[in-house]
Amino acid sequence: MKSLKVAPFGSWKSPITADLIVAESLGLGAVIYEGEDIYWLEARPTEGGRNVLMKRTLDGQVTEMTPQPFNVRTRVHEYGGGAFLIVQGTLYFINFSDQRLYQKLPNQDPTPLTPEGTYRYADLILDPLRHRLICVGEDHSQGEKEPENTLVSIDLNSGKINTLVSGCDFYSSPRLSPDGTQLTWISWNHPNLPWDGSQLWLATVQADGSLDQVRLIAGGTNESICEPKWSPDGQLYFSSDRRGWWNLYRYTQKGAIDPLFPLNAEFSYPHWVFGLSNYSFISESHVICSFNQDGQWYLASLDTQQKQLSVIETHYTNISSLDANGHKIVLIGGCPTEPTAIVQLNLKTGETTVLKQSHTLNIDSGYLSTPEMVSFPTENGLTAYAWYYPPKNKDYKPPKGELPPLLVKSHGGPTACASPSFNLRLQYWTSRGFGYLDVNYGGSTGFGREYRQRLDGKWGLVDVDDCINGAKYLVEHGLVDGDRLAISGGSAGGYTTLAALTFRDTFKAGASYYGISDLEALAKDTHKFESRYLERLIGKYPEEKEIYQQRSPIHFTEQLTCPVIFFQGLEDKVVPPSQACQMVEILKKKGLPVAYVPFAGEQHGFRRSETIKRALEAEFYFYSQIFGFEPADNIEPVEIINGG
């Protein structure tokens, strides 16, 4: 038996390097069938984060559909999604650099359908009877005013754009009935976001393409509607959280709302982006769906006539982007110890085929940490949840009596959900000797509307409490070193990180990725989609300006007594770089160890391989200096001001 090397936690040598992660990494998304062909998007860090549309034919041949320099990505709502459509081999897509809509006929180069300008498009569908596209439009021609969101049609012969629906602040999910006579869509208005409250509409489509008999059929200010879809026989389905959980419903011909299978589980999730798919029809009366229960995803078959749900056994714990073609289904599946992959399942034969992996690495399981779901007590007698990944490296053991440092992850959103799927960046930490706690604090998705609403009016309080109580839970159970606790997060998770470091003294270091330090600045200077988000999370502005100030770390830096490293994209329109710069300057003057790592060309969320590598290694190097261990790798140092 091989003897293990004895080395302090954090100093273990790991084959999971930053170079390996970015060299072999792909983002996978938006997988769909078009006939027997399968399409998906690949986000390639090695190409500056370019989104490339891929096609796989029945014989297994894979083709790149969008050549350089095209980048399939829309900026509607800034977060995008729903950026392409395939119909009988013809591709329609939005190109990121100019936001124009392009058409690509088979074996031809892409040509623009829309003119240059300030218009953006997303969530495309085809109206074949009228030879037009229908989609969400976002008009930025009004300068400093909010952009106008509408539903528009685009004539495929002339390129003429007509407004079909307007008047609400936001629109999504236009879906045309199989016979082309009915159009459904979702809308919502400030201050709601779509997971707070949205409305489902239905209209008759006239012969000339105009809409008539527009009526509201579901939703409201306190009910969230997601994913309207038409069954092959022309019935309208959708997801609603009207009973506290996103469940599936059917709109009957008599105008009733028919629940298909009430369950305390989430059959959808917050629609930050367009084009998400959690269910698909394999016949008129059978749906393949996925649902989240206690933070883990499951695949299931739903008989919509008998109203029976049957779980389909897979080893995937995170399931998204689900589509069906008869007895075949395709999805993006993740689990803790295998790379996330595009997977095809044959429901007749039971055969599972991996079509594409996000990584092509073959990593020994001896370096991979598997998570444990932990539930722990938090404030007000409530319970919160997290996934804990212990340190794991088959070559090392720690000196006797030493406990590992802990990195607490506060996810973004803040409505996101920490799911137990393969994450090489996470394993980078655990294979070097860190414990890693991925927290589903109050406000997270996957635990029902009531859990999600714990954060209403309490952002910066509930999330911070839960991250701290999760760390304390591990310390009390003797699993991690209470003197070496760090917290890290991006965007909203960056705010939670900064609030925890400023207003509490549990953590000894932290990392903010494009995090929010000044809530007032965010309320005044962010894009339309989130411009009123803080009204629900904190309160109305400026009426409740005092609360904004009280919860903004930038105003209480005298309470901050531990080192922090900041990472920031210089083209970030969601959280402007000025927030990080102000925080850094204050900490410099205060004499605290602080580091600032800006990235030119990056926006909100890092996409370039060199950025991802630098940020990961810089954060690890920063903690090595603060917690006093020697990294096994030769990492480029980061300048730590006041680092001694």
pLDDT digits (tens, 9 = 90+) for 282-317: 999 999 999 999 888 999 999 999 999 999 999 999
Tokens representing 438? 């991925």
Beta bridge partners of 182: 204
265: left (phi over 0), alpha (psi -120 to 50) or beta: beta
**Residue 578: predicted pLDDT:** 86
Q: State residue 191's pLDDT score.
A: 93
Q: Is the pLDDT of residue 10 over 70?
A: yes
Q: Both 119 and 250 in a single domain?
A: yes
- Nearest Cα to Cα of residue 552 among 528, 579, 533: 579
Q: What is the CATH number of the domain that holds 607?
A: 3.40.50.1820
Tell me: do 423 and 545 sit in the same domain.
yes
Residue 20 covered by a domain: no
| Between 130 and 26, residue with greater pLDDT | 130
Q: Cβ distance 156 to 92 under 8 Å? A: no
Residues 620 and 506 in one domain: yes
Residue 631, pLDDT > 60, answer yes
Output the pLDDT for position 337: 85
Q: Closest Cα to residue 629, out of 479, 437, 429?
A: 429
Q: Are 425 and 432 in contact (CB under 8 A)?
A: no
Let me know if residue 92 belongs to a domain: yes
- Comparing 362 with 487, the larger pLDDT belongs to 487
Q: How many domains does the chain have?
A: 2
| The pLDDT of residue 2 | 72
Average pLDDT over residues 213-242: 97
**Last residue of one domain, picked from the residues 245, 279, 313:** 279
Domain assignment of residue 268, given as a range: 38-279
Return the percentage of the chain with pLDDT > 90, whole number.
84
Q: What is the pLDDT of residue 36?
A: 94
- Domain termination residue (choose one: 250, 279, 308): 279
Model confidence at 579: pLDDT above 90 = no
pLDDT of 644 higher than 80: no
Q: Report residue 608's pLDDT band, with 50, 70 and 90 as the boundaries.
A: confident
Confidence (pLDDT) at 495: 95
Within a domain: residue 209? yes
If 0-12 CB within 10 Å is exposed, 13-18 middle and 19+ buried, where does residue 358 land?
buried
**Amino acid present at 411:** H
Regarding whether 506 and 386 lie in a shared domain, the answer is yes
Least confident of 232-236, 449-453, 477-481, 640-644: 640-644
pLDDT interval class at 425 (50, 70, 90): very high
* 274 and 370, same domain (yes or no): no
DSSP string of 36-70, one letter each residue: TEEEEEEEEGGGTTEEEEEEE-TTS-EEE-S-TT-
Sign of the four-CA dihedral 455, 459, 463, 468: negative
Domain presence at residue 310: no
Residue 515, in any domain of the structure: yes
Whether 229 contacts 238, CB under 8 Å? yes
The CATH number linked to 100 is: 2.130.10.10
E-strand stretches of 493-635: 509-513, 564-569, 594-599
In-domain check, residue 125: yes
For 89-140, what is each residue's pLDDT tens digit?
999 999 999 999 999 999 999 999 999 999 999 999 999 999 999 999 999 9
pLDDT tens-digit series, residues 323-361 = 999 999 999 999 988 889 999 999 999 999 999 999 887
Helix or strand holding residue 251 (H, E): strand 247-251
Are 272 and 420 contained in the same domain?
no
Same domain, 123 and 238: yes
Q: How many CB atoms lie within 10 A of CB 600?
A: 8
Residues 393 and 511 in one domain: yes
pTM, whole model, 2 decimals? 0.91
- What whole-number percentage of the chain has pLDDT above 70? 100
- Output the pLDDT for position 302: 98
Q: Which residue has the tokens 């495929």?
A: 156
* Alpha carbons 69 and 609: distance in angstroms, whole number: 17
296, amino acid identity: Q
Helices 462-476, 492-503: axis angle to 10 degrees equals 70
The two tokens of residue 405 are 């440092």
For the cut 70, the answer to whether the pLDDT of residue 540 exceeds it is yes
Question: Of 482, 463, 470, which is closest to residue 438 (Cα–Cα)?
Answer: 470
43 and 185 housed in the same domain:
yes
* Segment 202-208 mean pLDDT: 96
Domain end point (choices 252, 279, 306): 279
Look-up of token digits 């367009």: 274
- Per-residue pLDDT band for 1 (boundaries 50, 70, 90) equals low
Dihedral (CA of 121, 124, 126, 130) sign: negative
Would the pLDDT of 451 be above 60? yes
pLDDT tens for residues 468-496?
Answer: 999 999 999 999 999 999 999 999 999 99
What is the rounded distance in angstroms from the CA atom of residue 28 to the CA atom of residue 330?
13
Quote the tokens at residue 585. Answer: 């300057």
* Residue 223 domain flag: yes
pLDDT at 130: 96
**What average pLDDT does the structure give for the chain?**
94
Taken in order 524, 529, 532, 535, the sign of the CA dihedral is: negative
Task: Tell me if 12 is assigned to some domain.
Answer: no
- Looking at the DSSP bridge assignments, the partners of residue 189 are none
Residue 86: the pLDDT is 97
